[in-house]
Amino acid sequence: MKKKFRDLLHRFKVESFKTSHNHETDEELGREIKRFTEHALNDAFHFHFQKDPSPERLETFTMIKNYTLQSLMPPVIEKIMQRVVTVERQHRLMVKMLDELLEILSHEEHPTGARDAV
């Protein structure tokens, strides 16, 4: 039983490492990150003024917003989304490992006393 658990944990660690360090799936990962990044940037902030702003002030805020959305935020959001995608993949692997662990436990031989108690 310990060997099965050890093998299962080792396989999870190897797969998790491959997921976070694998460069073969960069295109797929890149597309997923790009999609999440575009979605996040499309849901960007909006200005709400209490009074009607002057056109110069509105233009200044619009320039700041455009600069932020086009220059500053994309690299930051891409890094965050890369981490989110990696953690989601590791989470899927952990759920798979937990399923296998429960499967092993369910097929394990029950002691006669435990079977009678249930």
Q: What is the tens place of the pLDDT at every residue in 79-95?
A: 888 888 888 888 998 99
Q: CA-to-CA distance for 93 and 16, rounded, in angstroms?
A: 7
Rg for the chain, CA atoms, rounded: 25
Whether the predicted pLDDT of 117 surpasses 70: no
| Range of weakest confidence among 2-6, 61-65, 112-116 | 112-116
Whether the predicted pLDDT of 73 surpasses 70: yes
Average per-residue pLDDT for the chain: 80
DSSP readout, 80-107? HHHHHHHHHHHHHHHHHHHHHHHHHHHH
Tell me the whole-structure pTM to 2 decimals: 0.63
pLDDT digits (tens, 9 = 90+) for 15-31: 888 877 776 667 777 78
Q: Which residues of 3-16 are buried (b: 16+ CB within 10 A; e: fewer)?
A: eeeeebeeebeebb
